[in-house]
């Protein structure tokens, strides 16, 4: 099946590089007045309209002046959860902090209780709705974490839901085991016993059922220490799981060094970052990931994007969609907020939300840019003057149509 798209006002994000680093992020290659050819769901050709091929196509779509860009690659989410935490949102408005709410047994433990009481089918339905929502907002590849189960049974339930989502939707999905998201209350002051449970009971079952691509740890004061994080990363490695680590959200305790030294694929959050953390990142291949919607929702600092990019590091942007710190999965808002609050240029933000997001999920061979042989996962905009208008005119939905694997959804 061949499909020709004509009259694209601007075809955006053309690159075959697997990741963009530092100054490379400033460039967003495009072709104005372009065509694109899709063959069996893959991009097979593109170029300027004056060179449009004259051959026969099974289908022709006139893009009528839309901008076309690669769909968003959201490399950090927790979209499998039960219910919501609207009450904690109101509690925070009334003066409590995120940390204070967690100390009272709210927070992640609150979500875990709800999830443990929810059936797998109900959890699937709630999560599928969120997945469909973000697909319509232009996300074409997504990472989804467990971590609201915190018992073997409930963690497996979450990961099985992610597996079902993988089977039933055209979006690319990577699954991450985040059993080390919080210490359950029955393990309070016995975190070593919980780590044993994660390593000796959960990990082998998850590996046997092939339920996870990565392992994650919430490395943070009051959650998991650097030593515990190292232990879990190493245990994950034994089962073939690379790590993606929650680190430096509230405090800088040395988690970045541990992650880089253990070959983590990414370190995510980084709202609080020390000069030595940046030096450490320069020594390894671990990708920093910023989550600006989380900073927005919790009113905490934004990841210092400019410092990271000036250090010639790559940077990816993701939503962190979850019930507690970021109840939003809108990558368009992430891109706008990165520009408005983190002073990223539109080019840098779009690169961070596409090709670098794909790299943070090891998907850059197939996703994240316009290149021959990559899947046709594309965003078609409504009539807008230029790509910079996307973050400039924040809060409006500029997406007209979304294509995944060559088909409009």
Q: Which residues bind ligand NIG (CB under 6 A)?
A: 107-108, 111, 218, 246, 249, 294, 320, 322-325
Residue 302 Cβ vs ligand NIG, minimum distance, rounded to whole Å: 14
320 contacts 77 by C-beta, under 8 angstroms: yes
Residue 145 Cβ vs ligand NIG, minimum distance, rounded to whole Å: 8
Residue 92 Cβ vs ligand NIG, minimum distance, rounded to whole Å: 11
State the Cα–Cα distance between residues 158 and 148, nearest whole angstrom.
Answer: 8
Nearer to Fe ion by Cβ, of 223 and 387: the residue is 223
Nearer to ligand NIG by Cβ, of 146 and 325: the residue is 325
Residue 158 Cβ vs ligand NIG, minimum distance, rounded to whole Å: 13
State the Cα–Cα distance between residues 71 and 350, nearest whole angstrom.
Answer: 10
Q: Which residue has the tokens 């590091």?
A: 313
List the single partner that 107 binds among Fe ion, ligand NIG, none, CB under 5 to 8 Å by kind.
ligand NIG
List the single partner that 111 binds among Fe ion, ligand NIG, none, CB under 5 to 8 Å by kind.
ligand NIG
The residues facing 93 across adjacent strands are none
Residue 408 Cβ vs ligand NIG, minimum distance, rounded to whole Å: 32
Which residue has the closest beta carbon to ligand NIG?
A: 324
State the Cα–Cα distance between residues 362 and 177, nearest whole angstrom.
Answer: 16
List the single partner that 357 binds among Fe ion, ligand NIG, none, CB under 5 to 8 Å by kind.
none
Nearer to ligand NIG by Cβ, of 111 and 330: the residue is 111
171 contacts 139 by C-beta, under 8 angstroms: yes
State the Cα–Cα distance between residues 325 and 89, nearest whole angstrom.
Answer: 9
Residue 350 Cβ vs ligand NIG, minimum distance, rounded to whole Å: 23
List the single partner that 324 binds among Fe ion, ligand NIG, none, CB under 5 to 8 Å by kind.
ligand NIG
List the single partner that 108 binds among Fe ion, ligand NIG, none, CB under 5 to 8 Å by kind.
ligand NIG
Least Cα distance to 41 among 27, 58, 19 occurs for 58
Least Cα distance to 183 among 175, 193, 173 occurs for 193
Tell me if residue 172 falls in helix, strand or coil.
strand
The residues facing 407 across adjacent strands are 404
State the Cα–Cα distance between residues 233 and 252, nearest whole angstrom.
Answer: 18
List the single partner that 330 binds among ligand NIG, Fe ion, none, CB under 5 to 8 Å by kind.
none
367 contacts 358 by C-beta, under 8 angstroms: yes
Nearer to Fe ion by Cβ, of 213 and 320: the residue is 320
Phi, psi of 161 (to 5 degrees): -60, -45
x/- site string to Fe ion, residues 277 to 316, per CB under 5 A?
Answer: ----------------------------------------
268 contacts 289 by C-beta, under 8 angstroms: yes
**What is the DSSP pairing of strand 30-39 with strand 2-12?**
antiparallel
Residue 322 Cβ vs Fe ion, minimum distance, rounded to whole Å: 6
Residue 398 Cβ vs Fe ion, minimum distance, rounded to whole Å: 26
DSSP label at 330?
Answer: -
List the single partner that 381 binds among Fe ion, ligand NIG, none, CB under 5 to 8 Å by kind.
none
Does the protein bind Fe ion through residue 220 (CB under 5 A)?
no
Least Cα distance to 154 among 48, 66, 244, 81 occurs for 81
State the Cα–Cα distance between residues 207 and 214, nearest whole angstrom.
Answer: 10
List the single partner that 61 binds among ligand NIG, Fe ion, none, CB under 5 to 8 Å by kind.
none
List the single partner that 71 binds among ligand NIG, Fe ion, none, CB under 5 to 8 Å by kind.
none
Q: Which residue has the tokens 């709410």?
A: 101
Nearer to ligand NIG by Cβ, of 245 and 375: the residue is 245
Q: Taking CA 287 as the corner, what is the angle to CA 286 and CA 290, rounded to the nearest 5 degrees?
A: 140
Nearer to ligand NIG by Cβ, of 160 and 269: the residue is 269
Which residue in 88, 220, 320, 347 binds Fe ion (CB under 5 A)?
320
Interface positions with Fe ion (CB under 5 A): 320
């Amino acid at each position: 099946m061949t499909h020709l798209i004509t009259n694209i006002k601007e075809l955006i994000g053309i690159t075959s590089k697997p990741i963009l680093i530092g100054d490379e992020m400033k460039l967003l290659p495009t072709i104005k007045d372009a065509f694109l050819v899709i063959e069996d769901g893959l991009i097979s050709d593109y170029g300027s309209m004056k060179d449009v091929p004259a051959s026969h196509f099974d289908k022709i779509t006139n893009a009528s002046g839309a901008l076309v860009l690669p769909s968003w690659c959201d490399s950090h989410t927790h979209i499998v959860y039960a219910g919501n935490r609207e009450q904690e949102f109101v509690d925070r408005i009334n003066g409590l902090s995120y940390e204070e709410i967690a100390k009272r047994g709210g927070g992640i433990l609150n979500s875990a209780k709800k999830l443990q009481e929810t059936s797998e089918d109900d959890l699937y339905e709630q999560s599928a709705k969120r997945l469909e929502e973000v697909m319509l907002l232009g996300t074409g590849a997504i990472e989804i974490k467990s971590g609201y189960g915190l018992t073997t049974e409930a963690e497996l339930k979450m990961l099985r839901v992610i597996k079902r989502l993988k089977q039933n939707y055209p979006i690319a999905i990577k699954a991450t085991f985040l059993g080390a998201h919080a210490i359950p209350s029955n393990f309070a002051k016995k975190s070593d016993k919980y780590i044993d449970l994660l390593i000796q009971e959960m990990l082998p079952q998850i590996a046997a059922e092939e339920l996870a691509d990565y392992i994650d740890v919430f490395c943070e004061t009051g959650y998991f220490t650097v030593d515990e994080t190292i232990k879990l990363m190493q245990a994950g490695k034994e089962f073939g799981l690379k790590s993606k680590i929650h680190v430096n959200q509230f405090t800088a305790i040395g988690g970045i060094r541990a992650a880089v030294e253990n070959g983590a694929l990414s370190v995510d959050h980084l709202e609080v970052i020390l000069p030595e953390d940046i030096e450490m990142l320069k020594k390894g291949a671990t990708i920093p990931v910023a989550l600006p919607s989380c900073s927005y929702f919790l009113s905490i600092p934004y990841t210092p994007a400019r410092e990271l990019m000036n250090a010639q590091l790559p940077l990816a942007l993701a939503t962190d969609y979850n019930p507690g710190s970021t109840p939003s999965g809108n990558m368009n808002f992430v891109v706008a907020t990165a520009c408005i609050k983190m002073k990223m240029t539109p080019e840098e933000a779009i690169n961070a939300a596409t090709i670098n997001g794909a790299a943070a999920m090891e998907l850059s061979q197939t996703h994240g840019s316009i290149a021959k042989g990559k899947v046709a996962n594309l965003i078609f905009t409504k009539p807008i003057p230029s790509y910079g208008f996307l973050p400039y005119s924040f809060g409006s939905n500029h997406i007209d149509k979304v294509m995944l694997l060559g088909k409009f959804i």
